Amino acid sequence: MVPLMQRQVPIDREEQEAMKGRVREIITTNPAYDGIRAGLERLGFQAKEDNPALALWENREHELFVMVHMDPDTGRLRDYEVKTFEEMEGFE
């Protein structure tokens, strides 16, 4: 008996781009990490590293990674990136 291969469902690039936009909106409209965390969770992201100084989140359905870097002194957003799994290949 031949084992069944997992069928890969192609990612809808329009949906992926729309999700990137929603992530950017959540991050830029929430001044505190707690708000960013709650927003990402609502969108189905799971934390790989849940530390405000450098947080990494992923959403497997849309094949997206989010990196959030908060300033530890002020608690304000220092930087963020939203990347596809494809864009992140070789960085892990």
What are the pLDDT digits (tens) for 18-77?
Answer: 999 999 999 999 889 999 999 999 999 999 999 989 999 999 999 999 999 999 888 889
Helical segments of 48-89, H only? 85-88
The token duo for 91 is 């960085």
Is residue 32 one of the residues assigned to a domain? yes
**Closest by Cα among 48, 39, 49, 47 to 19:** 39
Total of domains in the chain: 1
Is residue 79 one of the residues assigned to a domain? yes
pTM: 0.84
Backbone angles phi, psi at 2, to 5 degrees: -90, 130
Is residue 25 one of the residues assigned to a domain? yes
Domain that holds residue 25: 13-87
Is residue 8 one of the residues assigned to a domain? no
Is residue 6 one of the residues assigned to a domain? no
For residue 82, give Cα distances in angstroms to 1, 21, 49, 65.
42, 9, 15, 6
